[in-house]
Every structure is written in C-alpha cells, then in structure tokens.
Amino acid sequence: MIPLAVQRLRRPIGSLLAATVLTGAVAAPSTAAAGPLDVTGYDLTLDYQPGTTTLRGTTVLSAKAGSALDRLTLHLAGPRATSVTVDSAPVKSFSHNDNDELVIEPAARIGQGAGFRVRVDYAGTPGPGWLATTSGGATAFMGSARAWLPVRDRARDKADFRLAMTVPADWGVVSVGRERREAGSTTFHWAEPAVDPDHVTVSIDRFSTERGHLPDGTPVVTAYAPGLRATTKPLADRLPEILAFLSAKFGRYPFDAAGNVFLQVSDDAPATAPQTRPVYLGAGNQRYMTMETVVHEQAHQWFGISAAPRLPADSCLSECFASYAPWLWQQAKDGADLDERYRRTIAAKRADPAFWEPLYQPGVAPGITMYNKGPLALHALRHQLGEPAFDRLLQRWTRVNRGNYAAWPRFEALAEEVSGQDLDGFFAAWFRGSTVPAEEYLWPGPLKP
C-alpha cells in the first residue's frame, strides 16, 4: 500500500489511515479465538443501501476445529448479529463485547477435527474502516473486514471468499477475484479462493466498468467512480503492460483475476492492494494518481499479498519491494539512472537520523522508512549481489513463498543461498541498523561516486 500522503512527505491523513500506513497494513495474529480454528470459507449474501448506509445480510463460515470448542470468537464492528446457528442448530448464546468480538456458545461442544458451519445474520451500519466516497458510495478499507462481516480477524488464516451483494439500481459492486454477472440483476457476485480476510475489500458506487482479458486469458475488471474515468483510464489501459513487466521481474502473475478500482474518498486517501484488484481511494488527485502509484500497488500482488509478511515486523517484505518496483519501471521505460538517483538521495539524507531507522527489528513494525530507505536498501543489495543473482532472488522468493506467509530472516537466508555470499554485515548495516551504513555497504559495486 502507498498512501498518497507519502509521495509528497505529506501531512497526517487521519487516525485510521495513518495507523494502517505505519503498520504496513499488517496486524499481529489474533489471540482472542477460543482454541485453534481454521476457517476454510466465507460465503456472504448482503444487501447495502447507500442512501442510509445500512448493511444487512448473512455470512456463513465453513471451518474446522483444531481442538474441541465450547466457544467461538469472531469479530464484527458496527453491524449487530441478529441470529446465529452452528450446523443449522440455534446456539446456546451469542453476544457482542466492547472489543468488537462476537462470542458464540454453540448448543453442543464441537469436537476436535470436526468440520462445521456458522451462520450469522446481522444488520446495521458498517464499522470503522467503512469509508464514504465523495460520489455517495462506500469502500471497505483493506484490513478492515470486521467492519462489514463476522470474521476470524487478523489470524493469518486464508479461506475461500464468495460475495453476493445487492444494491439499488444504477449502483455497482466491485470486490476481489472473479466476477459472475447476471444480466439485469442488481446483485453482484464475486469469488476468490485462498484469500486472507485482511486482503479482501468491497466497493460500492455508480461505477462505469470495463472488462477485458490479459493475453493469457486472465479476466480484468476495472471500475471508475463518477468523474474519474477520463483521468485514470490512461493508467488502467496500461495494466497488461505493467503486469507483463512485473511478471518478467518477479515471476508469473500469482492470481487468476486482475484489475483496478478508482475511487475518491479524499485527496489524501491512500492507494491499497487487496488481492487481485488494487483500490485507489484518492484517485481524483491527479497530481499523485500516477503510473508509479499503479506499479507500486500491482507489485503488491507478488510482494505483500501472495508472498505475505508473517508479522508487522516483516512489513519490509511488502512495502520495500513495492516501493522499489516503480524504480525498476522508470529505469526500463523512461531510462532513469537509478545509480545517480541513489547517490543524490544518499547525499540529501546522510544527516537525517529518521531516514535511517531500521527496516527490520523483531517485534517492531517499521514505519515510513520502508517507502524511502527501503528502495535504496534494495538497490544497494542489487549491486551487492550482482544483476543475475538479484533477479534470481526476486523470482525465487515469490515462487517458494507463493500463497504463504514469511518472515524477514527467511529472505536474508535465501539471499545468501542464491548469491553464495556472506551477507550478515550487509543486512545488519542496511536493514537492521539505524545509522548510515559503513562505506563498504553504502557503495557496493559501481555505486561509489
């Protein structure tokens, strides 16, 4: 994710968005659930009324118990549950607490290893993270699934996702994955396998929608909120070129659907990268709704979504790489001299202690440094390894971690394996350190001015 505010050393953009930026949209795994629980599917049937911002409907969770369960804890902020069943049987009790937890006591203990289904009917106004658009619609901020569905929140638990959402005539719904269309219907169907709820979102607006395919047949859906198509379509039209370029750098595109969603929440709202289809919440700000922003968000499909950080401390595995992708794009497409950019930045930031904050500290989420120091660190790594080894490292990382979660030390180990180099000093200086790296690590290869 790249907030538009980061691109211009921006002013604060609000507590919700700023907090998400500083954690790299990665939250710690939940410890609230009572006993191990593996959710395998979310099946949503919803109705949303933009005029009243009222959401009502049903979510059915398919799950498997890792141990015997007398109690289930889900998260739901905003709407209230009106009815809960487990395997079609009314539960003993259900209640909401002050932590946005929906605590459920089934009528009978769920045995270890048992598969079961929880149905939750609910209604109300969506909770924090449900953002109004300037054209009267709404979008669910990435990482805020609990605002609009009962979910095992932030648990690093991928599941199949299916959505059927009904809206008034002339309104549209765009979510993640593949679309199933019914002519003349105001119910919109979306489905995506094996997705983390933190990487799911939904957007409702009076969209103009374009549909097409990548050269390999992957469906592309691009949605424009009112007034945004003319300025953002030139960016959207280059999506096949962008994905082809990133695939050449990072390996094959990791999903079976693609596209973009252009919205306007505010000029300072960030761009985010839900699985398969980035959402640009400040798309009306033409100064910052740029090709580099699109490249950054699409790069997250490899770094951050498919190969995802395990913990907040590992967020550089998402943001550092997505922030370096526009550098690679500008070098290839515009002839940018990245070595000279690197030297200029070093000269400008040598005396700025905040710039050199660590990119990796166990137990500590890196902050804005991911977006500025991160690309420099990767450019230095590129020269330290040499071009062939660096290219092999990027492709191998996304391949071996496809559809999984990984920690930063694993990347360091893979870099040493691929290159055959002892990189302890380099990684200590650039990624774990908080000062300007020593000269041998600051100027690897031909970088020294």
Mark whether 185 and 246 lie in a shared domain.
no
Residue 43 lies in a domain: yes
> What is the greatest pairwise CA distance in the chain?
72
* pLDDT of the residue at 36: 75
Do 178 and 190 touch, CB atoms closer than 8 A?
A: yes
Q: Check residue 314 and report its DSSP letter.
A: G
Do 148 and 140 touch, CB atoms closer than 8 A?
A: yes
Q: What is the CATH number of the domain that holds 242?
A: 1.10.390.10
* Total domains present in the chain: 3
The full DSSP string for 235-246 is: HHTTHHHHHHHH
Do 384 and 423 touch, CB atoms closer than 8 A?
A: yes
Do 121 and 80 touch, CB atoms closer than 8 A?
A: no
Residue 282 lies in a domain: yes
- Tokens representing residue 310 in the block: 């395990």
Mark whether 180 and 244 lie in a shared domain.
no
Instruction: Report CA-CA distances (Å) from 380 to 240, 375, 445.
Output: 29, 9, 9
How far apart CA 146 and CA 144 sit, in angstroms, is 5
Tokens 């030390």 -> residue: 409
**For 113-134, how does the pLDDT look when each residue is reduced to its tens digit (9 = 90+)?**
999 999 999 999 999 999 999 9
**For 7-17, how does the pLDDT look when each residue is reduced to its tens digit (9 = 90+)?**
433 322 333 34
* pLDDT of the residue at 18: 37
Do 6 and 22 touch, CB atoms closer than 8 A?
A: no
Mark whether 361 and 277 lie in a shared domain.
no
Mark whether 59 and 183 lie in a shared domain.
yes
The full DSSP string for 128-187 is: TTEEE-TTS-EEEPTT-GGGTS-B-TTS---EEEEEEEE--TT-EEE-SSEEE--TT-SE
Do 98 and 75 touch, CB atoms closer than 8 A?
A: no
> Chain centroid to CA 409: how far?
21
Q: Which parts of the chain register pLDDT below 50?
A: 4-34
Residue 141 lies in a domain: no
* pLDDT of the residue at 2: 60
Mark whether 247 and 167 lie in a shared domain.
no
Mark whether 387 and 413 lie in a shared domain.
yes
How far apart CA 202 and CA 213 sit, in angstroms, is 21
Mark whether 43 and 174 lie in a shared domain.
yes
Mark whether 234 and 114 lie in a shared domain.
no
Tokens 């990189």 -> residue: 423
Mark whether 247 and 171 lie in a shared domain.
no
Tokens 């209230």 -> residue: 80
Mark whether 414 and 438 lie in a shared domain.
yes
Q: State which of 273, 307, 341 marks the end of a domain.
A: 307
Q: What is the CATH number of the domain that holds 61?
A: 2.60.40.1730
The pTM (predicted TM-score) of the whole model is: 0.93
Residue 200 lies in a domain: no
How far apart CA 197 and CA 179 sit, in angstroms, is 18
How far apart CA 361 and CA 366 sit, in angstroms, is 8
Residue 32 lies in a domain: no
Residue 138 lies in a domain: no
How far apart CA 135 and CA 167 sit, in angstroms, is 15
Mark whether 19 and 61 lie in a shared domain.
no
Domain limits for position 263: 2-27+206-307
Q: State which of 253, 283, 307 marks the end of a domain.
A: 307
Q: State which of 138, 170, 193 marks the end of a domain.
A: 193
How far apart CA 353 and CA 311 sit, in angstroms, is 25
Mark whether 327 and 415 lie in a shared domain.
yes
Tokens 């498919």 -> residue: 306
Residue 393 lies in a domain: yes
* pLDDT of the residue at 181: 87
217 in helix, strand or coil?
A: coil
Residue 140 lies in a domain: no
Number of H helices, E strands in the chain: 11, 23
